Amino acid sequence: MLNVPIKPILLHKSDIPPAGSEWIHQLKFDGHRCLLSYAQDNGVKLFTRHQNECTRQYPELQTIKLSAANVVLDGEMVVIDAQGKPCFESVMERFQASKETSIRRLSCNLPAAFIAFDILYLNGNGVTHLPLNERLQLLSDIAGPSDYLTVIDSYDDGDALFQAVVKLGLEGIVSKRKDSIYQLDTRSYSWLKIKNYQHEIVEIAGIRKGEFAWSITKGGKYIGTVEFVPPAARQAFHQISKQLIRKEDREWVYLDPLIRCKVRFQCWTKKGFMRSPSFVEFVY
């Protein structure tokens, strides 16, 4: 498990935080999933959940020191913006950098941090079989203060944490059973993600001819594409759209934007586009 890519546990979706003393709740940081391997004699190696190594993109993490001979941690790689919030676009800029000069420049201008939320391996032994509350105690014991590694906080009241997330405009929360073991390459019902989606009314301004998508606008301004539309809604709109065609090219059919729908999305990008919008319902 040490210094090799692995497939981490995955989460199921939930609309509300689960209730009960058997659950703990944590902030869901807006970054990319990352597995961190550490050895005192070999430094840090980093892997994505898709098993791609990304060590060289984050040279600042080589300064991390842990109170263990070797360890594997699960967590999220984030970049915090000037408002103190995780910025997905910034961490993607870090992740996608390939030239050494760009990596070094970005490590100074957009420093990254690893938010650790679980421990899988410690001092030569796997610990995935231990209950979550014991793993979190091990994690707390080996991780000291660092600019580039933080252990996530846990809370007992999921509803209160989610309301705070909504107020602050953060991504969401994760709820986990205290007694849950860590199941590699499994989507576990013991780990739930509750996202703080935003909602907006938009106009449908076009249909992509190849891989399906709707082009959407707000007040005449292009704000993104919607790929997640149920088949019934696609079919219903397809019949109406024939009467709205303005022009078309090889890739798109352009429409009079007279039909509106509600979409949900994660956030607005820096350039004013919706991130990951999906169809909710038509608005008449």
Catalytic positions: 28
List the Cα angle 127/151/166 in 5-degree steps: 120
Place of tokens 């586009």: 273
C-alpha span between 134 and 176 (Å, rounded): 13
Cα end-to-end distance, the chain, whole Å: 54
Name 138's Cβ contacts closer than 8 Å, sequence gap at least 6.
119, 122, 127, 130
218, containing H or E segment: strand 214-218
List the Cα angle 134/137/138 in 5-degree steps: 90
Name 201's Cβ contacts closer than 8 Å, sequence gap at least 6.
260, 261, 262, 283
Alpha carbon 6 to chain centroid distance? 18
Determine how many CB atoms are found less than 10 A away from the CB of residue 259.
Answer: 17
